[in-house]
Amino acid sequence: MNTIASTATRRSLFAATSLALALALSACGGGGGDNGGGNVSVTPTPSPSPSPSPSPSQSPTSRNVSACLSQVIPGTGGATPASLVIPDTIKLDLTQPAGFPNGRRLEDPVIDITLAVLLLDMTKHSPALLASLPLNPAANDKPFLSTFPFLAPPQGTPPLSTGTGTSFAFQTEPTSAFVRVDREGQPAVATALVGAALRNAYNDANPSDDVAGVFVPEFTNQLTLIHNGLADDLIALGLTPCSK
Amino acid sequence: MHRKIKLALAAATTIGALGALVLVPGQLALSADHLDPPARTDPAVDPTPDFDTDIADLYAFYDDTNLYLIETWGGPAATNLAGFFDPKMVHTINISTAAPATTPEISISFRFGVGATPREQGIQLTGLPGVNGPLVGPLEQILSKDGVRVFSGLRDDPFFFDAQGLKDSRATGVLSIKNTRDRFAGLNASATVIEIPRSRLGGTKLDLWVTTARLGGQL
């Protein structure tokens, strides 16, 4: 069995690329902060206030996204978007081939795959459709190392630590004395499926909260909003959305 | 012929989709976890963003012998900046190796300290399976103890995606996403890489997640 990531074969269909570009672009509406677009800087310039999370539309034409969360993703041995993000942990089966969503390798095109499985009907489209174009850059700008520690050396000429030996002063408080700031399991779950109003709560929560269903309504609301805006476009582009 | 029609259709629909784009309120802002949660870590929202605890990505993969874990944070960072290794925070990589998936059998925590001068920095890891006591050593070097290897330091940010194209497209109404442009190119991130023998795990079906925390709460 091959993983989605490893079966993403490239095609040079310009038309398909255009379709996918429009598709993904539309999918990326909204957003308050500049996630991924903001650079880490030492002199931040804050905007006046965070954008509030929009309320889900309850119009009569609202799409039903339940199939998007429950559809089986081909090539995964039965995984669904819901099973992959509830709880929000990376799933890695060491008896199956490595590659997202079975674990996550550095080279895996996780965004293109995630977009495909959340937007498209997996009985009609491949989870590798967007990655096969590719929609986004297909690889990192610097080659990864084939051996430990795998990550490419830093770019530019940043000041690097010069420590030696083992004589360092560490805080001695137990881990429990520290206050949670961030959490991550699967890539892009918080940024794609959790609205701004719940972002802090989501990052403060634990996988047990995910399993208890705390964020299922939010996932559904956010995905519904996305599909309400997108379904017509997907259909016009000759694609079949997973929502009804 | 058919292909030309499809192309024209695609172009027309693209413009239509862009018109509707602004109205789509879903938050499919594309990053792995960089600058999330915004209220704590995004300089566009938070005047005191906590880069030291801002998880960027978590990777987990394996070969015949080892499990490899990579966490990056504090990125994408300009290349003139040092890494983010504040001593007053802790990172924890959780691994569940047996049901239920929500309770970790392995919790690897690491924090940072300084030596004689602020630039002399070290890492202290606890909870490494099969390692007797904490593993302590300097940054920017491969460390090993009891069969486990660790590297922590400043590296290239490994994530790739054209976030700028999305931003420009939204602002101008002109489609400009390019698969030749990478928002994370030419930028760095702080990272910890851990190699653990598979025989130490006690299971083959893993659930993994990472959390960060700071003494006294986020900046």
> Which of B43, B139, B191 is the closest to A38 by Cβ?
B43
The tokens of A19 are what? 């379709």
How far the first Cα of chain A sits from its last, in Å, is 30
Chain B positions touching A193 (Cβ under 8 A) are 27
Judge: A94–B205 Cβ closer than 8 Å, yes or no.
yes
B107, with CB counted inside 10 A (0-12, 13-18, 19+), is middle
Query: What does the pLDDT read at residue B44?
Result: 86
- B-facing residues of A in 18-37 (CB < 8 A) are 18-19, 21-37
Q: What pLDDT does residue A127 have?
A: 96
Residue B17 has a pLDDT of 35
Long-range contacts of B143-146 (CB under 8 A, 24+ apart): none
- Select the highest-mean-pLDDT range: A107-111, B38-42, B187-191: B187-191
The answer, yes or no, to whether residue B74 has pLDDT greater than 90, is: yes
Average pLDDT over residues B128-149: 98
The Cα–Cα gap between A216 and A212 comes to 9
Judged against a pLDDT cut of 70, whether residue A14 lies above it is answered with: no
Contact B40 A181 (CB under 8 A): yes
Q: Which two tokens stand for residue A14?
A: 């310009």
- Which tokens sit at A241? 């959305």
Q: What residues contact residue A61 under an 8 Å CB cut-off, 6+ apart?
A: A228
Q: What is the pLDDT of residue B30?
A: 47
Q: Round to whole Å and give the CA distance between A110 and B86.
A: 29
Q: What digits encode the pLDDT tens for the residues B76-119?
A: 999 999 999 999 999 999 999 999 999 999 999 999 999 999 99
Beta-bridged to residue B113, according to DSSP, are B122
- Smallest Cβ–Cβ distance between A222 and the set B14, B26, B119 belongs to B26
Has residue A215 got a pLDDT over 70? yes
Residue A3's pLDDT is 60
* Selected residue with higher pLDDT from A103 and A33: A103
pLDDT given for residue B32 in this prediction = 74
Point out the residue among B14, B25, B210 whose CB comes nearest to the CB of A183: B210
The ipTM, to two decimals, is 0.84
- pLDDT over threshold 70, residue A2: no
Q: Which residues pair with B215 in a beta bridge?
A: A178
DSSP state letter for A155: S
Q: Give chain A's mean pLDDT.
A: 80
What is the DSSP track for A64-93?
--HHHHH---TTTTS--HHHHHTTT-EEEE
Q: Residue A34: its pLDDT value, please?
A: 28
Give the CA radius of gyration of chain B.
Answer: 21
Q: Percent of chain B at pLDDT above 70?
A: 79
Q: Compute the mean pLDDT over every residue in chain B, rounded to the nearest whole number.
A: 83
Closest by CA to B149, choosing from B182, B183, B123, is B123
Q: Taking 70 as the threshold, does the pLDDT of residue B43 lie above it?
A: yes
Amino acid A12: pLDDT: 29
For A26-55, the pLDDT digits (tens) are: 333 322 222 233 334 333 333 344 444 444
Instruction: State the average pLDDT over residues A82-86.
Output: 96
For A119-135, what is the mean pLDDT? 91
pLDDT at A88: 97
Sheet containing B142-145: give its strands across: B55-62, B66-77, B188-197, B148-156, B142-145
At B171, is the pLDDT very low, low, confident or very high (cuts 50, 70, 90)? very low
Distance (Å) from the alpha carbon of B73 to chain A's nearest alpha carbon: 10
Q: What count of residues does chain A have?
A: 244
Task: Say whether B184 and A156 touch across the interface (CB within 8 A).
Answer: no
- Are the CB atoms for A234 and A23 separated by under 8 Å? yes
CB-closest option in B85, B103, B214 to A181? B214
SS3 annotation, B86-154? CCCEEEEEEEECCCCCCCCCEEEEEEEEECCCCCCEEEEEECCCCCCCCEEEECCCEEEECCEEEEEEE
Res A199 pLDDT > 60 = yes
Residues of A in contact with B44 (CB under 8 A): 33-34, 38, 44-47
Asked if residue A193 has pLDDT above 50, the reply is: yes
φ, ψ for residue A196, nearest 5 deg: -55, -35
Percent of chain B with pLDDT over 90: 65
